[in-house]
């Protein structure tokens, strides 16, 4: 196997615990079990027997997941260890050497690396900042051909926070349908829309749509490592077979807590808490950036816990990230991790005090850089 290093995950693993302020996270400040569970639920968890669970996910949890997708049933769901495993087993379920994948950029680049490792060929179509990150669907259509097996979408998008309109979704489906391609939709940020209105899923709109989701981002529960795939029965059965060769199953503890979190009333409470936090933090982050009109330009996100800033400095994004990390102990993500030079991603899902202190460190770094530029 010849697989490239996954740069985003590698640099976060190496450096996020070496700084005072880590602004690379794209989710929300995580819940504690004490915050999430009432006393009776805490006692139930303490009585839980830590054996093996059902490998494709407990039936109660899969029923909770299926309920979020109109027309779905729990047999069409396989539970994975986070959406990272979901992406891995999805690619191995759908792709073979020589296939082509057309992938939305900027994006979380795991699928690009997996496709290359499998001997498939990734191609790009872009979201355009000059159009407030709207999808360039003319470019998508030009990239799709008879070899295209998958169109990979991230909606809401990481790192831009853009959400596709229903008209854009329907156009993407029409393009895929012309060549019989699968649509693989990363929807891990679905539920983190800033206006509080959960966007429709690709699931159920097209008979060759496979969708992922999870609790790490919109639900602020990354430590549970719960993700899932939902789609047509035959591809879910294949994904379950690959899952048996990867992690076998997520923990029964994670299954139980996830089941509680996805009860509809609790799910909405979690979303409301996270969106309220995000709205306040985005106001802080965007007002801060407006102090540097000569440095930053951006289109405000419609969802998700981050802002993707274009910057105007005489240095690459990796150099800028390294400079701030090494000299001011604050960590931001270079745009190269998403296939876009000249940009940086900053997270907005932490506590407000933490965010403000991290931005103060960036102020120190920018002062030094701008003095040298002048």
User: For residue 143, what is the domain's CATH number?
Assistant: 3.40.640.10
Distance CA 35, CA 46 (A): 16
Residue 108 confidence (pLDDT)? 96
Please say whether the beta carbons of 285 and 362 come within 8 A: no
Residue 2 confidence (pLDDT)? 78
Residue 29 confidence (pLDDT)? 93
Please say whether the beta carbons of 307 and 300 come within 8 A: yes
Does residue 236 fall inside a structural domain?
A: yes
User: For residue 335, what is the domain's CATH number?
Assistant: 3.90.1150.10
374, pLDDT greater than 60? no
- Residue 372's pLDDT band (boundaries 50, 70, 90)? confident
Q: What is the total count of domains within the chain? A: 2
Residue 49 confidence (pLDDT)? 95
The phi, psi pair for 239, rounded to 5°, reads -60, -40
The phi, psi pair for 218, rounded to 5°, reads -65, -20
| Average pLDDT in the chain | 96
Residue 119 confidence (pLDDT)? 97
* Domain range for 250: 50-263
Does residue 127 fall inside a structural domain?
A: yes
253 and 276 assigned to the same domain: no
Pairing of strands 77-81, 21-22: unpaired
146, pLDDT greater than 80? yes
Please say whether the beta carbons of 299 and 160 come within 8 A: yes
Residue 237 confidence (pLDDT)? 98
195 and 152 assigned to the same domain: yes
Please say whether the beta carbons of 231 and 71 come within 8 A: no
Section 302-321 average pLDDT: 96
Does residue 41 fall inside a structural domain?
A: no
291, pLDDT greater than 60? yes
> Do you know the residue count of the chain?
374
**Residues with Cβ < 8 Å from 179, sequence gap 6 or more?**
144, 145, 146, 148
Residue ending a domain, choose from 232, 247, 263: 263
Does residue 259 fall inside a structural domain?
A: yes
DSSP string, 53-120: --TT--HHHHHHHHTTSTT--GGGEEEEEHHHHHHHHHHHHH--TT-EEEEEES--THHHHHHHHTT-
Does residue 143 fall inside a structural domain?
A: yes
1, pLDDT greater than 80? no
Does residue 43 fall inside a structural domain?
A: no
Residue 199 confidence (pLDDT)? 96
* pLDDT 10s digits, 355-370: 999 999 999 999 999 9
Distance CA 367, CA 374 (A): 11
The model's pTM: 0.96
Distance CA 366, CA 323 (A): 10
* Angle, helices 82-94/233-246, rounded to nearest 10 degrees: 120
153 and 165 assigned to the same domain: yes
159 and 246 assigned to the same domain: yes
Residue 102 confidence (pLDDT)? 98
99, pLDDT greater than 80? yes
């Amino acid at each position: 196997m010849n697989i490239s290093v996954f740069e985003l995950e590698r640099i976060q693993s190496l450096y996020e615990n070496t700084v005072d302020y880590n602004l690379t996270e794209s989710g929300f400040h995580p819940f504690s079990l004490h915050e999430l569970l009432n006393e009776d639920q805490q006692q139930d968890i303490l009585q839980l027997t830590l054996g093996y669970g059902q490998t494709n996910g407990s039936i109660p949890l899969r029923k909770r997941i299926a309920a979020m997708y109109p027309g779905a049933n729990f047999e069409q769901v396989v539970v994975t260890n986070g959406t990272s495993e979901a992406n891995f087993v999805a690619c191995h379920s759908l792709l073979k050497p020589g296939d082509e994948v057309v992938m939305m950029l900027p994006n979380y680049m795991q699928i690009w690396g997996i496709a290359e490792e499998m001997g498939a060929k990734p191609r790009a179509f872009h979201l355009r900042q000059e159009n407030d990150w709207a999808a360039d669907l003319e470019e998508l259509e030009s990239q799709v051909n008879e070899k295209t097996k998958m169109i990979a979408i991230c909606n809401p998008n990481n790192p831009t926070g853009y959400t596709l309109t229903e008209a854009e979704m329907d156009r993407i489906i029409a393009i895929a349908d012309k060549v019989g391609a699968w649509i693989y939709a990363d929807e891990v940020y679905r539920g983190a829309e800033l206006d509080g209105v959960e966007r429709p899923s690709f699931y159920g709109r097209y008979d060759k749509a496979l969708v992922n989701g999870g609790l790490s981002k919109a639900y602020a529960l990354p430590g549970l490592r719960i993700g899932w795939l939902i789609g047509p029965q035959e591809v879910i059965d294949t994904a379950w077979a690959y899952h048996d060769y990867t992690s076998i199953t997520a923990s029964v503890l994670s299954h139980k807590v996830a089941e509680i979190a996805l009860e509809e009333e609790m799910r909405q409470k979690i979303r409301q808490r996270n969106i309220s936090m995000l709205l306040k933090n985005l106001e802080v982050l965007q007002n801060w950036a407006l102090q540097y009109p000569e440095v930053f330009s951006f289109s405000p996100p419609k969802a998700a816990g981050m802002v993707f800033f274009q910057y105007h400095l005489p240095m690459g994004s990796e150099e800028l990230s390294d400079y701030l990390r090494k000299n001011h102990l604050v960590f931001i993500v270079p745009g190269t991790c998403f296939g876009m030079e000249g940009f940086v991603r900053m997270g907005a899902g932490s506590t407000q005090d933490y965010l403000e202190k991290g931005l103060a460190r960036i102020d120190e770094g920018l002062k030094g850089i701008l003095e040298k530029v002048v």
